[in-house]
Amino acid sequence: MKVLLVEDEVKLAKAIKTGLEQDGYAVDLNTNYDDGLAYATTEDYDFIILDRMLPGGKDGSDICSLIRRKGITTPVIMLTAMGETEDIIQGLDEGADDYLTKPFKFDELLARLRALKRRPKNVVEKVIKFGNLQINTTNKEVSRFSSNKLTTKQTPIKLSKKEFAVLEYLAVNKGTIASKEQILSHVWDFDSDVLPNTVEVFIKSIRKKIDEPGSDSLIETVRGFGYRMRVVNV
Ligand code: CA
C-alpha cells in the first residue's frame, strides 16, 4: 500500500513516514502544497494524508477538493491542528474521508487507515449528473439545467427528504438495478412500517418532479427487478 503524505512540520512528517514504513506502507513525503498537489494528481496512491495548514497560507483541503474534481477517489485523511467542528465539516465536505486532530497517537492513524481499507471503493461523488439533472449529495439540492445559446438556466427542484433519499440511493448506485427491497432498507429505518408498494408511490412522485414532459423518465423500471437511473448523453 502506497501513501502520499503532505505535511510541512518536518519532524512530525518524518516520524509519520518512519512509522508508516515500519507498518509496511510505502510513503511519498511532500512538505508543500504545490508538490503535494502534483504528486496527488500524477501518482497512484492507496491513501493520501493531508495536513490542513500548509506553508504560504495554503490549505491542504484544497488539494482534496481539486483531486476529487479530477475524479480521483483515493481515500483522504486530513490532519488538522484546528479541532473546530466547522473545519472538520469543511474538510469532510471537500471530499476527505476522515480527519485526525493534532496531536494524535500514531496508533490511531494506523487504525484509521485500516478502517478506510475496509470501506467499499465507491466514493460518493459530490454532484451526480444525469443529462441536465444535477443531484448535489452534500447540500441535497436537485436542479435542472436548461441552456440556449446565451444563458444557462438553473431550476431548483423541490423534493421531500424521503424523495431525495430514494433518488440519491439510485444515483449513487447508478449502473446497477436497485430492487424495491433494497431501496426500502437503505432509505427507511428498520422499524418503519412501509411496504414495497411505498417505493412505487415515491418513484412516481419523484418522476413527476424530475422528468421533463415528453421525454423518457430518468428512472427506468426494470420489470421484475427494480429501478435504475437512465444513462443520458448530453
Ligand atoms: Ca502544517
Q: 36 CA to middle of ligand 1, Å?
A: 13
Q: 6 CA to middle of ligand 1, Å?
A: 9
In a shared domain, residues 145 and 117: no
Q: 86 CA to middle of ligand 1, Å?
A: 18
Q: 51 CA to middle of ligand 1, Å?
A: 6
Tens digits of residue pLDDT in 12-62: 999 999 999 888 888 899 999 999 999 999 988 889 999 999 999 999 999
Q: How confident is the model at residue 73 (pLDDT cuts 50, 70, 90)?
A: confident
In a shared domain, residues 113 and 134: no
Tens digits of residue pLDDT in 204-219: 999 999 998 888 999 9
Tens digits of residue pLDDT in 139-151: 889 999 887 777 8
| Full residue range of the structural domain in which residue 138 is found | 127-229
User: Which amino acid appears at position 48 of this protein?
Assistant: I
What is the number of domains present in the chain? 2
Residues whose CB is less than 8 angstroms from the CB of residue 158 and which lie 6 or more positions away in sequence, other chains included: 209
pLDDT the model gives residue 123: 58
Where does a domain end: 69, 89, 122?
A: 122
Rounded mean pLDDT of the chain? Answer: 88
In a shared domain, residues 146 and 94: no
Q: 41 CA to middle of ligand 1, Å?
A: 20
Q: How far is CA 206 from CA 139, 181, 222, 229, in A?
A: 18, 18, 17, 12
